[in-house]
Structure 1
Amino acid sequence: MSVLIHINGYPGAGKLTLGRRLADAIGARLVDNHSVYNLALALTEVKSPAYFETLRAVRAIAFQRVLELPPHIPVVATNAHMTDSDWGNENWDAWADLARRRGARLLVVVLDCDPDELDRRIASPARATKRKLTDPAQFTGARTGRVLIDRGGDATLRLDTTRLSPEETFSRVLAFVAAERGQPSGV
């Protein structure tokens, strides 16, 4: 059964760590938000028309390659999209449409986390080497009540990662994905 697993969470919630582990465990391809955003961040002014044009162009290329994959190969995507963002809603809907065009079940994983813990994680120096946000003041979404998008999936798992280790998060998500694919939890 074809699946597209969309991991949505605040910066610092553990999306990329989880996405990598999950992709390795189930033989999936990973399209993390950094692989789409880095080109736009490097070459355009953030949130300018050129920025969004670049994001759409890179996303279109990624989507075309996903559609060319054999249907039995799962796809894992990561994003940080909130319900009050026009771009977030546009991008979320595009991923949901991609799942439909691929004939895949859309499994949604939402990673939440306490704002103080997010601040601690965001400030980690290791994030800078991955071109990730490292200044907690630049992201206040969790503190201001911005809500993560979780709509449109065939099944949804919401996890608060505040007190979960990466291993615990991975184990819970792997069990969810395996159950939704009708497989034993270790697959």
Structure 2
Amino acid sequence: MGVRIVLIGFPGVGKLTIAKELSAMVSAKIVDNHWVNNPILRLLDEDGTAPLPKGIWEFTGRFRQTVLDAITAYAPSANFIFTLPAWRAAEACDAVLVPVRLLCDEEDLARRVSNPERRQRLKSTDVAASRDRSRRAGVFDPLHPNTLVLDVTSASPGKTAIAIREHILKVLGDLSA
């Protein structure tokens, strides 16, 4: 039985950075939202702050679904870390789902989003949108019993990864008890 860790958080919170730290600790493959979205987003001439064209997420959604279907068909017992919604990939193959909500202070999130390196990876660099999102929306809560909530404002990616690994071990221990 595989484990599906889903990192949930606003752009800039550090999902991919944390996933990279965590992947070696739990022997898991990473499926990053930008690895799935960028084949489509690279077709656009965007500056990282302009609104994306209407309907573009329909195309990235199809690509994402193809990736999730392949995981379900060919790697049902492998461990994966997702930085994109992947609930069905866990349910379809009886994997253990571990959602992790990553929270971050608005100012620190705005600072992280403004990093110019994000633009090279086709990630949003819109600080105003980041602040607006922080003020008007909460990080999605899947209301799943295995959910872990971490404030990563001051935590290093390594310490965050360790906390997630410890939570996964607890969840797996509870399942076997």
- Does the pair score TM above 0.5? yes
**Pairs within 5 Å for 1:25-104:** 25-43=25-43, 46-49=52-55, 51-79=56-84, 92=85, 95-104=86-95
1:71·1:102 contact (CA, 8 Å) conserved in 2? Answer: yes
TM superposition shift of 1:16: 0.5
Quote the Cα distance in structure 2 between the aligned partners of 1:154 and 1:32.
Answer: 23
Root-mean-square deviation (Å): 2.0
| 1:101-154: CA deviation from partner (whole Å, max 9, x where unpaired) | 111121110001000000111112232232222231232211x23011121534
Which residue in 2 is equivalent to 1:170? 161
2:133 aligns with one of 118, 128, 141: 141
Pair 1:74–1:154, CA change in 2 (3 A): farther
Query: Which residues of structure 1 form unaligned runs of 5+?
Result: 80-91
TM-score by length of 2: 0.84
Q: Which range moves more in the overlay, 116-125 or 37-46?
A: 37-46
Which residue in 2 is equivalent to 1:118? 109
TM-score by length of 1: 0.80
Quote the Cα distance in structure 2 between the aligned partners of 1:170 and 1:113.
Answer: 15
Query: Which residues of structure 2 form unaligned runs of 5+?
Result: 45-50
Per the alignment, in what secondary structure is the counterpart of residue 107 of structure 1? strand
1:7·1:77 contact (CA, 8 Å) conserved in 2? Answer: yes
Per the alignment, in what secondary structure is the counterpart of residue 43 of structure 1? coil
Per the alignment, in what secondary structure is the counterpart of residue 141 of structure 1? helix
Q: Which has the higher contact order (CA 8 A, sep 6+)?
A: 2
Per the alignment, in what secondary structure is the counterpart of residue 92 of structure 2? helix
- Matched residue type, 1:13: V
Per the alignment, in what secondary structure is the counterpart of residue 55 of structure 1? helix
Quote the Cα distance in structure 1 between the aligned partners of 2:3 and 2:161.
Answer: 17
Q: Which range moves more in the overlay, 30-39 or 149-158?
A: 149-158
Q: How high is the sequence identity, in percent, across the aligned residues? A: 30
2:98·2:168 contact (CA, 8 Å) conserved in 1? Answer: yes
